[in-house]
């Protein structure tokens, strides 16, 4: 088995269960750590002239770390058809999560800020939350492992989940009033926090201008760090201000979504007829969750290529669900 195939999602389909192994990359990480730890341990023993007996605690710690990585690589997601329960099993045998099929919404792709995507299991009462990872990370939509995973695993699991669904689970949410849109006749304009955008954008711009003066806090040396900071403040500040005055309007009469701003940069118009779905992107900063962005996809006229437009970002998954419900009630 090659290193590339070892890092991909693996699965086993049996008559009474489907078992998925999404953490194969940990095998490779364990191997890399074993080489690094081995070299470090030999240096510690030979170059520093430590005895095997005195270095035994260090060796045991290093071995435990490697074993933990190997154990995590064996962690599985098991869909038990007979009991109608999904279980996440640490190291392949220790159940740490159990969810009945009747509570599972399905398996959906989730994009991230790096442009890759993974597949996660979501519950019906939290369809836009973190979810439970069931695949490795993919970059290309036509990745052979991703295509096979959808065809062989996801479709099979969804057939079993459908047996446990009830009519109430997928009843459309009735929208009587709109929280995230200003409504005027058949026109729905996305609400914006313009004051916050102006204040934050102006603050960034002011900091950038200050750094161009003789009193700059970062000095006047020409280095990559200072250049990046200046670009971030001098370009980012006006961009944030402009974003606050960018209007996104959905018109039911003309069946058009339009994005406009005072200077005309980035103005777009999309027809509802070319609407191709909604997708959420989970964003993180230094590996810490920083919000979920809601994007809508439209097919380019005369082609099968998609174009995405970001509408809004939320920290609360409940707000994401409400926003998507309002959006669907307008477009669909």
d(Cα 325, Cα 178) in Å, to the nearest integer?
A: 10
pLDDT at 253 over 80: yes
Task: State the pairing for strand pair 17-21/10-13.
Answer: antiparallel
In the prediction, which pLDDT does 45 show?
A: 80
In the prediction, which pLDDT does 287 show?
A: 62
- Once rounded to an integer, what is the mean pLDDT over residues 72-84? 96
In the prediction, which pLDDT does 262 show?
A: 84
Specify whether the CB–CB gap between 79 and 21 falls below 8 A: no
What contacts 121, CB < 8 A, 6 or more positions away?
A: 77, 86, 99, 104, 106, 107, 131, 132, 134
Lowest mean pLDDT among 59-73, 106-120, 284-298: 284-298
Average pLDDT, the chain: 88
In the prediction, which pLDDT does 225 show?
A: 81
- Local structure of 66: helix, strand or coil: helix
- 224-244 and 194-210 helices, crossing angle to 10°: 150
| pLDDT over 90 percentage in the chain | 48
- HEC readout, 273-296: HHEEEEEEEEEEECCEEEEEEEEE
d(Cα 147, Cα 124) in Å, to the nearest integer?
A: 25
In the prediction, which pLDDT does 50 show?
A: 67
Gyration radius (Cα) of the chain, Å: 26
- Specify the pTM: 0.75
| pLDDT over 70 percentage in the chain | 95
- Once rounded to an integer, what is the mean pLDDT over residues 55-75? 91
Burial (CB count <10 Å: 0-12, 13-18, 19+), residue 134:
buried
For 264: left if phi > 0, alpha if psi spans -120 to 50, otherwise beta; the answer is: left
pLDDT at 196 over 90: no
- Of 67, 68, 94, 81, nearest in space to 19 by CA: 81
**H-helix or E-strand spanning residue 312:** strand 306-314
pLDDT at 3 over 70: no
In the prediction, which pLDDT does 217 show?
A: 80
- The predicted-structure confidence for 173-195, as pLDDT tens digits, reads as follows 788 899 999 999 889 999 988 88
């Amino acid at each position: 088995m090659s290193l590339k195939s070892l890092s991909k999602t693996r699965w086993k389909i049996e008559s009474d269960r489907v078992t998925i192994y999404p953490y194969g990359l940990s095998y490779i990480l364990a191997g890399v750590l074993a080489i690094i730890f081995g070299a470090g341990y030999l240096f510690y023993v030979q170059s520093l002239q430590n005895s095997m007996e005195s270095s035994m605690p260090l060796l045991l710690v290093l071995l435990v770390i490697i074993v933990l990585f190997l154990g995590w690589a064996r962690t599985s997601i098991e869909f038990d058809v007979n009991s109608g329960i999904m279980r996440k099993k640490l190291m392949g045998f220790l159940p740490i999560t159990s969810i009945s099929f009747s509570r599972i919404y399905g398996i959906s792709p989730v994009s991230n800020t790096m442009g890759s995507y993974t597949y996660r299991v979501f519950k019906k009462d939290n369809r836009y939350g973190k979810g439970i990872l069931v695949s490795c990370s993919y970059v290309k939509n036509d990745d052979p492992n991703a295509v096979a995973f959808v065809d062989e695993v996801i479709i099979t699991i969804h057939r079993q989940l459908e047996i446990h669904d009830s009519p109430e689970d997928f009843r459309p949410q009735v929208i009587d009033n709109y929280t995230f849109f200003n409504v005027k006749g058949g026109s729905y304009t996305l609400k914006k926090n313009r004051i916050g955008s102006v204040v934050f954008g102006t603050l960034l711009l002011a900091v950038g201008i200050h750094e161009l003066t003789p009193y700059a806090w970062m000095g006047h040396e020409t280095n990559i760090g200072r250049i990046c900071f200046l670009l971030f403040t001098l370009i980012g500040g006006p961009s944030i201000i402009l974003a606050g005055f960018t209007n996104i309007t959905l018109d039911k009469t003309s069946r058009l979504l339009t994005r406009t701003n005072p200077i005309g940069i980035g103005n777009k118009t999309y027809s509802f007829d070319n609407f191709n779905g909604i997708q959420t992107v989970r964003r993180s900063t230094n590996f810490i969750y920083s919000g979920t962005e809601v994007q809508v996809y439209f097919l380019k006229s005369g082609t099968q290529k998609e174009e995405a437009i970001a509408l809004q970002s939320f920290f609360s998954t409940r707000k994401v669900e409400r926003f998507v419900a309002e959006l669907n009630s307008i477009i669909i």
